[in-house]
């Protein structure tokens, strides 16, 4: 049943991409110079965490994110995003603060209609809200840091924030709003040095990741702007140590999300339920959950106090979470405030208490002050 579904999805994605290329006639390019956009942020951190994998207290450089979005013709567009960052997670106590350059996105898309765009390349994996809404745009997101379990693969996140593959996305008006959808397939991830790797150089393990996000966005009325949805992803993830596979895990996740901006309020949340099982084993699956909920309210158009709770309960018998650097259960309560100094400059302060003692980690307090710009 699942195999049939996989085959159908692959066929549909390939047919829609190449079929649409054949149907539509090329149009003239629409590029008048090429504008570089970007985000940058710097921050100060004070943390009570000992041997923090994200580094010590003090002033830090965040990201320098540059992206290009040329429309090559009326139907073809590209998205290219490079990031220089200094705060990759490392093994605890070995933080070195050296810069690293990541090609965050390299995707080329064909716009068939408002209802369907097909992308190929490396893209932000469409699950939940945060990952595609803000991603490396620190100035866009309300808080200094992402929710921990939604963090990037090299920052202790437990979800594949990026995917190399094919992605079909679109929306269609239905009732008082519109249905939104995303369907994607890509190289299966693997775990290298405690972080998910999306295999940019090809699918060496021949495991395919399959996922979808379905949503409904209300327009008008009392529920105007409410976007509700569900998401699912499945793939086999192998853990490598010195080139040797030490665990194979079939990862399945399902969950939901919402984002709503009634007036000056902003409410959002995401939920993930994992049902992972060791590959080639008869052992029972391991259940894990992760969720966050956040609320903020903007006064005078520029002062935004906020609060967020994060909870995850990750099975340590699961070969997936067992080998991820950020694969331990934790709870985090966060409060903060954002001040929009200008439409392109945000000052953000937040403080949190994190408790990761359930799996032998620490309980600690932390605060961040960030200056973030976009240009």
State the residues that interact with another protein by CB under 8 A: 24-25, 27, 30, 37, 67, 69, 71, 74-75, 77-79, 107, 109, 111, 113-114, 132-133, 135, 137, 140, 171, 178, 301, 343, 374
206, HSE (Cβ side, Cα atoms, 13 Å): 0
> Which residue's structure tokens are 């992308």?
119
Cβ pair 85, 138 in contact under 8 A: no
CA distance to 40, 89, 244, 320, per residue, from 189 (Å):
28, 18, 15, 11
Q: Where are the alpha helices (DSSP H) in the chain?
A: 2-23, 130-133, 319-323
CA distance to 192, 198, 346, per residue, from 241 (Å):
7, 16, 41
Minimum CB distance to another protein smaller for 27 or for 281? 27
Q: How far is the CB of 301 from another protein (least distance, A)?
A: 7
Q: How far is the CB of 259 from another protein (least distance, A)?
A: 12
Structure tokens that stand for 246 in this block: 């030490």
Q: How far is the CB of 29 from another protein (least distance, A)?
A: 12
3-state secondary structure of 149: helix
Minimum CB distance to another protein smaller for 129 or for 320? 129
Cβ pair 175, 128 in contact under 8 A: no
Minimum CB distance to another protein smaller for 80 or for 237? 80
3-state secondary structure of 141: coil
Question: Terminus-to-terminus CA distance in the chain, angstroms?
Answer: 48
Whole-angstrom Cα distance, residue 365 to residue 111?
A: 47
Name every residue whose Cβ is closer than 8 Å to that of residue 50 and which is 6 or more positions away in sequence. 362, 364
Q: How far is the CB of 343 from another protein (least distance, A)?
A: 4
Minimum CB distance to another protein smaller for 78 or for 351? 78
Minimum CB distance to another protein smaller for 129 or for 321? 129
Strands (E), 48-115: 58-68, 76-85, 100-113
Minimum CB distance to another protein smaller for 74 or for 355? 74
Minimum CB distance to another protein smaller for 95 or for 110? 110
Kindly report the backbone phi and psi dihedral angles of residue 357, in degrees, each rounded to the nearest multiple of 5, phi listed first.
Answer: -75, -15
Write the DSSP symbol of residue 135.
T
Minimum CB distance to another protein smaller for 279 or for 374? 374
Q: How far is the CB of 58 from another protein (least distance, A)?
A: 29
Q: How far is the CB of 19 from another protein (least distance, A)?
A: 15
Burial of 78 (0-12, 13-18, 19+ CB in 10 A): middle
Q: How far is the CB of 371 from another protein (least distance, A)?
A: 18
Q: How far is the CB of 110 from another protein (least distance, A)?
A: 12
Sign of the alpha-carbon dihedral angle for 317, 319, 322, 327: negative
Number of helices followed by number of strands (H, E) in the chain: 3, 18
Q: How far is the CB of 164 from another protein (least distance, A)?
A: 17
Minimum CB distance to another protein smaller for 6 or for 132? 132
């Amino acid at each position: 049943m699942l195999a049939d579904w996989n085959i159908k999805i692959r066929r549909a994605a390939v047919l829609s991409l190449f079929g649409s290329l054949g149907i539509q006639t090329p149009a003239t390019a629409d590029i008048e110079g090429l504008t570089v956009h970007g985000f940058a942020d710097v921050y100060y951190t004070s943390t009570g965490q000992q041997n923090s994998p994200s580094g010590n207290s003090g002033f830090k450089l965040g990201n320098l994110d540059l992206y290009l979005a040329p429309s090559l013709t009326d139907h073809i567009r590209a998205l290219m995003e490079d990031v220089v960052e200094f705060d990759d997670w490392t093994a605890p106590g070995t933080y070195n603060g050296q810069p690293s350059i990541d090609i965050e996105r390299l995707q080329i898309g064909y716009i068939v209609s408002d209802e369907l765009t097909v992308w190929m390349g490396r893209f932000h994996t469409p699950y939940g809200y945060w990952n595609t809404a803000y991603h490396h745009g620190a100035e866009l997101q309300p808080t200094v840091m992402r929710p921990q379990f939604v963090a990037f693969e090299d920052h202790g996140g437990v979800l594949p924030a990026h995917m190399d593959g094919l992605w079909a996305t679109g929306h269609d008006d239905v009732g008082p709003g519109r249905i939104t959808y995303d369907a994607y397939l890509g190289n299966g991830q693997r775990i290298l040095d405690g972080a998910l790797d999306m295999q940019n150089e090809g699918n060496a393990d021949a495991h395919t990741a399959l996922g979808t996000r379905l949503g409904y966005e209300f327009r008008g009325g009392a529920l105007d702007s409410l976007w509700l949805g569900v998401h699912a992803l499945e793939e086999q993830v192998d853990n490598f140590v010195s080139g040797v596979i030490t665990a194979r895990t079939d990862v399945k996740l399902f969950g939901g999300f919402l984002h709503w901006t009634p007036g000056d309020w902003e409410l959002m949340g995401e939920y993930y339920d994992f049902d992972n099982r060791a590959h080639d084993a008869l052992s029972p699956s391991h259940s894990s959950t992760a969720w966050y909920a956040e609320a903020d309210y903007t006064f005078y158009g520029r002062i935004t106090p906020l609060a967020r709770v994060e909870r995850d309960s990750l099975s340590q018998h699961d070969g997936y979470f067992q080998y991820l650097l950020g694969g331990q259960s934790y709870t985090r309560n966060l409060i903060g405030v954002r001040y929009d100094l200008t439409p392109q400059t945000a000052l953000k302060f937040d403080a949190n208490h994190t408790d990761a003692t359930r799996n032998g980690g620490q309980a600690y307090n932390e605060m961040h002050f960030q200056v973030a710009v976009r240009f």
